[in-house]
A and B are shown apart, each in its own frame.
Chain A
């Protein structure tokens, strides 16, 4: 009577372009939503968007090779799928799904931002946020000339956003002409389009960008024309990605009002996996005002402040650190919300009671330091935080009763701003540092995997023994018995057996002995040698037309940027030493 433990359930997340901000947000929110479930595992299979059909283009072949990763989804034992494939819209969603996922007819699936008939989908309510923005611009700011930088024709969301934009203008009794619209490829390469739009509409008072990315070229164009976003031209984007807050000036953007796409998708998928019926969901959106378009949801009233109302402080927190509530928080970490409450309530109390001692001030400083040291800035944009602080500060100064307490409070506020800036610059420095170290290590990896006549010849084994120098802290390298060509993949798919060569756990390399390596692709995620993480990104290792295997990397912000590059380099190195 022996029993075998339940295995973890695996959710696949199918994406195109892991490195774009939209995908990063999706991965982040899915990860966050899954954090509460210990028996779940996430595998991200990210391809690259391929539009061009020009087979003589090297880029096309690179993308095609890369996208063979999608065949993994059939081989892994997945329990559920989340798909975000905006490019399938033009191809007729159903056909596409039937063709590609016929094997998975029974597998629970949730589609993101995609219209697929008879399937569960989660989409943003494009209309609500856009209407909020346009109503505000027209009715409050008195804007009469609005333009739009649109998206690809094959992108459903982009098309809907355009329609919504036109409808909203009409509601506000403004006419829409084609001159006011310019289509883009939705990437940062859209400078020419932005230029055209601004040339046709030099008097534009506001521009709506179909997503946050295209605002980057628009900013450049405006700058060249001596215009400042938020002053002469109001600009707002869509998706409210993290980087929109780091742009200068920070970009106002429309984003989820509460639950994010990823969160909702996980929720629905789990329900489907448990055999429950679910309905497709449209998530409400709202405008997040930033420097490029100032817009506030809440006012801080003196009354609330004087009463040191608990819910008021928490609302202030939610307003200021608006990303906090949509993420899951590990109970091991510092509870930032409570910490914020702790020092803000003490500051407000000191205002009411008209006194703050030096000890109390030092304690507040300590708490504020802890607050920012523990990643408070992850949940807001610096500009927004500074504005929130200033608003609170102004209200408090207005209702001050004691010079001393007020002075101390203002010092606290000043310190908060310092901390915020320091935390931001620290992050930037750190990520620069990480990149630099990563590059150095990667270089080291190349040197060690190069053939020098004086040292023993480089073999596959040599490469594997140096995998900890690839610069990713948690990875597993899986190689086929021998490299295979693209034609073979198209004909037979991926081989069913693969070798788990080595794993790197927290930077520590473990090379498996040859007899332990062999593993079925279908059960490779069950291998206990893999790094202990809740999610992996699977990236193909190939060079030219030879496919070598897979790189599994822990899912985090860094992976999104670097796993592809690392796999690429690994493929290159393997190719050089490939005797076939």
Chain B
């Protein structure tokens, strides 16, 4: 068997493709499936005829659809043609009418089955493609009958629909066609047979049945009238909540299932303010017939109804159910496993329920993503025939797949998709928020009759949604919900780091044992102290409580206690280091960012226990505003040439004159206000490029001012960022090489924790010295200067930090430091000169003179000013 899927572009290209395929009719039959979302009925037949003219021996099976599946991808508004060449097997197809054109009555199940047996069924049939167009209430019974006649014969297909674009008035429900014509009241069937043919069918729904069973006690056609003696529609509505009025798509999310097939949703439609007479028009003879049999009903009475797409049997039992992401994942995973392991996987047929994308917009795409590289083709239908438990049955909202082949072939499937379920998690959030909405409704309307049952239903749904897969610990969704609804705003996140390295040394069972013990102990502790525990990741849990039941202090104490308990690991377990981060004032939005920031802090400081406030990571409004004000100021200053170098004279204590200046950056705003770096430097640094620009402008201006100066020199402050900036460095080097007195330029650098690359700094210093300029070490004695590095820099000047100078008259220690520095200078190998800053009064200056300080800088001598005589 060989299958080629083709997206229809034009007849010419189709013809060319079919030529290239070089089909071999003598070898085996050819099946051509057409699923179209773009053709009208007659166009479709015309297309079938065209194909037939090229491949005369092919069996053509065509349906309308709303979207096609081609190579495992969902495509809207396309037409897909799939050509299957059998190696020895046979294909037999036919359109079987379901309504007698003369009487207008539905044809009985027996007659339909008989026709199908005669016209389609062959010996050794393995799979029957079955598509129904229009309403045929007995479809379920027909499928059941087939099960009885041909036990084990698999069927795949469904009820065809039509895309919005191609929709026409007379044909709302879709149609089936072949080269002989089309119908919207009939079945299109094709059997695939052959002694070597093997097929396997499976399906995924994601449905979870919940709660007790209800018996159908009254029905009319496809309409369920009574459940356990009460009005079925009302019962159904109260089960979902009043929101159903506005959001009928929720019926898909909370379907009903037959008790004997709890994972197969029964297609349910909820309609309001209508009557049986409207649902089943009397002018249809079949309906008239049904009404005649039920004289007790009031056909004109308007109310709400729930209907399905097949005749409902009184006495069958129903249960409530809902669809949620983890079940979808589990179902798909199971199905994928089967499909992947099927040996003769030459061709994949896939049919997906249209309502799946209604509930979970990402669901259908995600489900298909694991088959993206396989040759899966098919389309979207309005109801699917699935093969479950040895029987075929009619389902809604299912994803059904058939694998068929004659030889052993494997398809390239993609199991990786199962680890990427983020898109489903998004859908899941929507579902949760809906459940929360119901909860809110229940809170507000406690008097509503159904509150009891509704509440328990919602709780059951939440239980499914909110607990981790393999244990009964609530998951992250539960955490978010508790934060939102119950005010759980104190959360401690416990994380075990470095678990990947554990795998290198220990075997899996030891790791699993340790993990179980870790989770168990956390859970036990949380339970004992009335906290709630959530499992976020394999090795990450959260423990939470609302601020109205525990003080932060008590909670921190408890968590510290738990940490000690966990540290005291017992025999046979791997030693783990759980880090604890208690976050106060959490909201759903700020928890993650707060934890990330806290984690960073914890890592930097190497602490394993941390208490913080979620709000504290958010700067307060005033400082945010101030930062933006400063950014605007910097931008303004750059654009309008308002970066102004100020110069502060440095007094030469030997000559008693000022011939050296330190350049200091100032920004001036449009009002003429002058800003010191104290205000804007932080902001400039946080927007690195702004810093680079201002710094470059400053350097250029100072250079220009002093380019030709004789007898005066200037200092320029440089940060580590400047020194690492190639452009700035090139500019400085070029300038120094071109200037007459490079010795007039001194570069002040900070020796502090910012300096992370000494080789860069040292090579800068060497280069500056080669070019004849000077180096000064700024703020010596503040921060954490590394003395060894200070020595290594071979600086020409050393500037003692102002905080020391300021105190030198009051504090003996400060004075001793000055003495020490001067002593060191005397012992020094190379000539270094010492500068003191913040010299504010005569008293200080006298003291500095006593110690022989070379230069003094400060208000006592001169204030920074833009105007100096150079």
Min C-beta distance of A468 to chain B, whole Å: 23
| One of A1, A353, A367, A370 near B452 (C-beta < 8 A) | A353
B451, CB-defined interface residue at 8 Å: yes
Contacts of A1 in B (CB 8 A): 677, 717, 778-779
The listed residue with most A CB atoms (<10 A of its CB), out of B547, B585, B779, B782, is: B547
Contact A336 B548 (CB under 8 A): yes
Contacts of B553 in A (CB 8 A): 332
B549, CB-defined interface residue at 8 Å: yes
Contacts of B802 in A (CB 8 A): 2
Chain A, 1-36, CB within 8 A of any chain B CB: 1-3
Min C-beta distance of B446 to chain A, whole Å: 5
Given A2-B803, A352-B446: A334 in contact with B782 (beta carbons within 8 A): no
| One of B547, B552, B585, B678 near A3 (C-beta < 8 A) | B678
Min C-beta distance of A519 to chain B, whole Å: 11
Min C-beta distance of B445 to chain A, whole Å: 10
Given A2-B803, A353-B451: A334 in contact with B530 (beta carbons within 8 A): no
| One of A2, A338, A353, A374 near B551 (C-beta < 8 A) | A374
| One of A308, A339, A349 near B549 (C-beta < 8 A) | A339
A2 to B802, CA, bound (A): 7
Chain B 571-589: CB-based contact to A (< 8 A → 1; otherwise 0): 0000000000000110000
| One of A2, A342, A352 near B447 (C-beta < 8 A) | A352
Contacts of B778 in A (CB 8 A): 1
B487, CB-defined interface residue at 8 Å: yes
A301, CB-defined interface residue at 8 Å: no
A370 to B548, CA, bound (A): 9
Contacts of A333 in B (CB 8 A): 547, 551-552
A138 to B810, CA, bound (A): 72
B729, CB-defined interface residue at 8 Å: no
B550, CB-defined interface residue at 8 Å: yes
Chain B 534-551: CB-based contact to A (< 8 A → 1; otherwise 0): 000000000000111111
| One of A2, A308, A349 near B801 (C-beta < 8 A) | A2
Min C-beta distance of B838 to chain A, whole Å: 8
Contacts of A370 in B (CB 8 A): 548-550
B462, CB-defined interface residue at 8 Å: no
Contacts of B549 in A (CB 8 A): 334, 339, 367, 370
Chain B, 239-290, CB within 8 A of any chain A CB: none
Contact A338 B446 (CB under 8 A): no
A370 to B545, CA, bound (A): 13
A335, CB-defined interface residue at 8 Å: yes
A331, CB-defined interface residue at 8 Å: yes
Contacts of A337 in B (CB 8 A): 548
Chain A, 137-172, CB within 8 A of any chain B CB: none
A367 to B530, CA, bound (A): 11
A352 to B446, CA, bound (A): 7
A348: nearest chain-B partner, CB-CB: B446
A366, CB-defined interface residue at 8 Å: yes
| One of B585, B678, B801, B803 near A331 (C-beta < 8 A) | B585
Min C-beta distance of A423 to chain B, whole Å: 16
Contact A339 B451 (CB under 8 A): no
A336 to B585, CA, bound (A): 15
Contacts of B144 in A (CB 8 A): none
| One of A2, A335, A366 near B782 (C-beta < 8 A) | A2
Min C-beta distance of A337 to chain B, whole Å: 8
A352 to B449, CA, bound (A): 12
B613, CB-defined interface residue at 8 Å: yes
A575 to B548, CA, bound (A): 51
Contact B613 A353 (CB under 8 A): no
Contact B677 A338 (CB under 8 A): no
Contacts of B546 in A (CB 8 A): 335, 338, 342
Contact A349 B547 (CB under 8 A): no
Contact A339 B548 (CB under 8 A): yes
Given A1-B778, A349-B446, A352-B446: A366 in contact with B585 (beta carbons within 8 A): no
Chain B, 720-744, CB within 8 A of any chain A CB: none
Given A332-B552, A332-B584, A349-B446: A338 in contact with B547 (beta carbons within 8 A): yes
Chain A, 315-354, CB within 8 A of any chain B CB: 331-339, 342, 349, 352-353
Chain B, 333-382, CB within 8 A of any chain A CB: none
Chain B 411-452: CB-based contact to A (< 8 A → 1; otherwise 0): 000000000000000000000000000000000001100011
The listed residue with most B CB atoms (<10 A of its CB), out of A331, A332, A338, is: A332
Contacts of B678 in A (CB 8 A): 3
Contact B779 A335 (CB under 8 A): no
Min C-beta distance of A357 to chain B, whole Å: 13
A331: nearest chain-B partner, CB-CB: B585
Given A334-B547, A370-B549: A2 in contact with B446 (beta carbons within 8 A): no
A374: nearest chain-B partner, CB-CB: B551
A361 to B173, CA, bound (A): 56
Min C-beta distance of A376 to chain B, whole Å: 11
A353: nearest chain-B partner, CB-CB: B446
Contact A334 B584 (CB under 8 A): no
The listed residue with most A CB atoms (<10 A of its CB), out of B446, B550, B613, B803, is: B446
A352: nearest chain-B partner, CB-CB: B446
| One of A308, A331, A339, A374 near B584 (C-beta < 8 A) | A331
A335 to B446, CA, bound (A): 26
The listed residue with most B CB atoms (<10 A of its CB), out of A2, A3, A331, is: A2
The listed residue with most A CB atoms (<10 A of its CB), out of B548, B584, B801, is: B548
Contacts of B451 in A (CB 8 A): 353
Min C-beta distance of A223 to chain B, whole Å: 41
A337 to B549, CA, bound (A): 11
Min C-beta distance of B136 to chain A, whole Å: 47
A160 to B553, CA, bound (A): 47
Contact B548 A334 (CB under 8 A): yes
Chain B 758-802: CB-based contact to A (< 8 A → 1; otherwise 0): 000000000000000000001100100000000000000000011
Min C-beta distance of A448 to chain B, whole Å: 33
A336 to B550, CA, bound (A): 10
Contact A2 B779 (CB under 8 A): yes
Chain B, 605-639, CB within 8 A of any chain A CB: 613
A387 to B96, CA, bound (A): 82
Contact A338 B584 (CB under 8 A): no
Min C-beta distance of B746 to chain A, whole Å: 15
A2 to B782, CA, bound (A): 9
Contact A331 B613 (CB under 8 A): yes
Contacts of A334 in B (CB 8 A): 547-551
Contact A308 B717 (CB under 8 A): no
| One of B447, B530, B547 near A335 (C-beta < 8 A) | B547
Contact B779 A308 (CB under 8 A): no
B451: nearest chain-A partner, CB-CB: A353
Chain B, 583-601, CB within 8 A of any chain A CB: 584-585
Min C-beta distance of A336 to chain B, whole Å: 7
Min C-beta distance of A280 to chain B, whole Å: 28
A399 to B778, CA, bound (A): 80
A163 to B451, CA, bound (A): 60
Min C-beta distance of A355 to chain B, whole Å: 9
Chain B, 799-834, CB within 8 A of any chain A CB: 801-803
Contacts of B584 in A (CB 8 A): 331-332
Contacts of A2 in B (CB 8 A): 779, 782, 801-803
A337 to B548, CA, bound (A): 8
Min C-beta distance of A359 to chain B, whole Å: 13
Contact B548 A342 (CB under 8 A): yes
A370 to B554, CA, bound (A): 12
A339 to B550, CA, bound (A): 10
Contacts of B552 in A (CB 8 A): 331-333
Instruction: Give 10 nearest A-B pairs by CB, closest first.
Output: A339-B548, A332-B552, A338-B548, A335-B548, A335-B547, A352-B446, A370-B549, A333-B551, A334-B551, A3-B678
What are 15 inter-chain pairs, A to B, with CB distance below 8 A?
Answer: A1-B779, A2-B779, A331-B547, A331-B552, A332-B551, A332-B552, A332-B584, A333-B547, A337-B548, A338-B487, A339-B548, A352-B447, A353-B446, A370-B548, A370-B549
Known: A1-B778, A331-B613, A370-B550. 10 other contacts (CB 8 A): A1-B717, A1-B779, A3-B678, A308-B446, A331-B552, A332-B553, A335-B547, A336-B548, A337-B548, A339-B549
